[in-house]
Amino acid sequence: MSAIGHRFDPSILREYDIRGIVGQTLTASDALALGRTMGTIAVAGSGRIAVVGYDGRMSSPMMEEELCRGLASCGLYVMRIGLVPTPCLYFATKMLNASLGIMVTGSHNPSNYNGFKIVLNGLPFYGAEIKRLRDLAARGVWARAEGGAVEGEALGAYAARLALDYTSRVGLKVGWDPGNGAACPVVLRLAHRLPGEHMLINETVDGTFPAHHPDPTVEENLEQLKDLVLKEELDIGLAFDGDGDRIGVVDDKGRVVWGDQLLAILARDVLKKKPGSKILADVKASQVLFDEIERLGGVPVMCPTGHSIIKSKMIATQAPLAGEMSGHIFFADKYYGYDDALYTAVRLLALLAEGGKKISELVDELPKMVNTPEIRIDVDDSRKFAVVDEVKERLEADGAMVDGTDGVRVSAEGGWWLLRASNTQPALVARCEAPDADSLQALKKQVVSQLKASGVGIPAGSLLAV
């Protein structure tokens, strides 16, 4: 055992993963210390094999090298699968029955960010476990044994597995935008393997993300894909974030299909085969989704936001399907229960090919509500949770209908509004949904009033401004 501790910058230890700005809050020494600490945790549980992948960012190979060095120094044998999307890392970890899987990725953050997503013994490593990681690293009591590393290939097997669940001979006209991220090589394989016509943009990995920011849940990042779908008269457009675990969808009319709408469409297919199943969605999702799941004969379950939380909840409830507004979609129906945007894309294409309806028709069949996107309000990390607690206390004292699953979700005006603290940024997140524009304005006023009562101002130009 060695005893030279390491202290991580507190800002990089997030609820669901580890993420920071390269050269400022996140360095190569952090990657080495993470490897030593996670290696120590794994071998204490008799783990012998770790799988490591990395995304297309400029800093990722350097981070991966130091991470693997740390893991091997604890006696682990490391399978290095190279540049892959995060779900490919999950897939390889599962197929190899490895005790530990670590993905080097900055996810949907700007190019100067990087970080790590961790799976331990088949389960997401998050929350209190990340605090334990921090404490173990600070103590510096690391295992020392001779391990090693070997390079392996996982992309081919992963892409082949994805394509297995597209069984139709009918092909669609599909636009793909992997956004110069780690999903690029898999998208290329799928485009060759699946029937139909496939048009690709931004299909070359480039860690500077020259075309647009790698977050497909922000509408401005989908403008290129919208143009492609409309110009080429495609059936659908599919986009992915920097590491391929979040999906963005554009329908044949050039409209964005949001995460909760997508989940409602996918639930139809799953609940036909598994009626009465629980379908999970995060607290930011539309009431239309929860009502639709119930109408289809399923049991809707509202969950706190967070991909790690939802993965754990899926196991506990044996839910075959789950999703978030942020574009994380989780299939345990015929798949492995983790968030995989590329697998979701294949299942969605198969549903459309077999069902015969356009995706715009499926969207238009859903009840119409008026809503805001997620609205972020900058609030310091030291204050954000307290603000939510204060709002909750005032609302409960006034007898409001409050759901406290994650922050406060308040039923009013025939709709609802939400206020929660972000687990990944110094911000509060608000969202409102109502049956009409006037009711939406009334809900916004309620949110603004509560924020002002806690001393939080609304900047000019905010979508909350009324």
Catalytic pick among 73, 99, 107, 111? 107
Q: Burial of 206 by CB count in 10 Å (0-12 exposed, 13-18 middle, 19+ buried)?
A: middle
Contact 242, 327 (CB under 8 A): no
Report how far residue 335's alpha carbon sits from residue 6's, in angstroms, rounded to the nearest whole number.
38
Number of CB atoms found within 10 A of residue 148's CB:
11
Using left for φ > 0, alpha for ψ between -120 and 50, and beta otherwise, residue 173 falls in beta
Residue in 22, 148, 28, 144 with CA at minimum distance from that of residue 80: 148
Report how far residue 358's alpha carbon sits from residue 116's, in angstroms, rounded to the nearest whole number.
38
Query: Is 107 one of the annotated active-site residues of the chain?
Result: yes
What are φ and ψ of residue 189, in 5° steps? -65, -40
- Side-chain-side CA neighbours of 434 within 13 Å: the count stands at 17
Report how far residue 397's alpha carbon sits from residue 301's, in angstroms, rounded to the nearest whole number.
26
Q: Burial of 268 by CB count in 10 Å (0-12 exposed, 13-18 middle, 19+ buried)?
A: middle
What are φ and ψ of residue 260, in 5° steps? -75, -35
| Residues with catalytic roles | 107
